Structure 1
Amino acid sequence: MIAQLRGLLAQVEADRCVIDVSGVGYLVQASSRTLATLPQPPELVCVLVETVVREDAILLYGFAEASERAWFRLLTTVQGVGAKVALAILSVLPPPELMGAIATGDKTMLTRAGGVGARLAQRIVTELRDKCEGMPTGLPAGTVVSAATIAVPAARGIAADALLALSGLGFRRAEAQPVVERVIDRLDGKADLDIVIRDALKELAR
């Protein structure tokens, strides 16, 4: 089983990337959040990997953080949550937000992910509520997950999604990142992805 890949980032697409390890290109599917943390190709990268072996294929799923990989594994234990849906959930909800949504039974947050309807959201909450304790969040040790502690990771998630969208429009990460951060700071915690992208585009076009 492949647990980690280190090599040159050869290509990044909307939901996957290609990592060149000693001349072999590995196709790695990932959440938009993980993809947004990657540098521009060709740069050296290291990603954690979950290997899924099927009858017709060996699939690789990549993660920037161990907490995201742990939640991917947990999510895929729920009936109806395959790898694609798990990545969709992790694309819109980083681990702290995901834990908070499950703990509070907030199905609306879960249905923000593509492929997750009200019924599946209810199943996720029901099956995982008692399994959340002890799951990693990526936050400092001892941090209690609450509405207050979720706010910062939520803003970081919006920033990552906005950077990914702007990269797709041809803007360099180094150019777009400070603009996105300024826009989010200006919105004072009330950031919405569409508004962040719109305002960032206005600044970048000047």
Structure 2
Amino acid sequence: MRLRNKPWAVKLVNDYPESVLQNPDPEKKIDWTERFGNDHPIEIEVGSGKGHFITTLAKQNPDKNYVALELQTTAAGIILRTKLEEGLDNLQILRGDAADIDCFFDENTTDVIYLNFSDPWPKTRHEKRRLTYKSFLAKYEQVLKPDGHIEFKTDNSGLFAYSVQSMNNYGMHFDFVSVDLHHEKAEIVEKNIETEYEHKFAAKGNPIYALHASFDEK
């Protein structure tokens, strides 16, 4: 969902280039060790929206680095505001297209990729835009470490069914699958970090679908 343009967010993003990379050159890999100032494990959220999920993760895990990959400048600004308020030095914001994820990260450098409430692109002619389409899976496989994995959540049953089939056809392994995440065992529910959309959808009684999947070791 596109956010309404907020001029303050655009200015904030432009004022903090050390925290936000905007439309980097896809021909040049990003030196994330230099950006973060350390070589801690990296986790990526593709399409971070307002950033509640990724900023909460960063706050809970100071020994890990997080990248919010987000195309919208307004969303990037909202995430950045939280980053600055919370002092989250282990969070970087990358304003770019998910289709270029393999250009922004070297091979075998990422531990987890989060796909939370991605656009379902329900029309068949838009299948290639879905973030679980096989061309995206190939890029994730390249970026992830051999023992890395994808964590996916959605409220859209059609996208969930499609994603399960797409990942299965690609030869991925499912480590966790749920068709009603908020009614799983207590320890699973307690560990779950809700996104803004997830809270909204769950409050309406909509089931939340989730899965964790990994690739064959390279």
The answer, yes or no, to whether TM exceeds 0.5 is no
The structure where helix makes up a greater share of residues is 1
Q: Indicate the structure whose relative CO is greater, using CA pairs within 8 Å and at least 6 residues apart.
A: 2
What's the TM-score once normalised by structure 2's chain length?
0.27
What's the TM-score once normalised by structure 1's chain length?
0.28
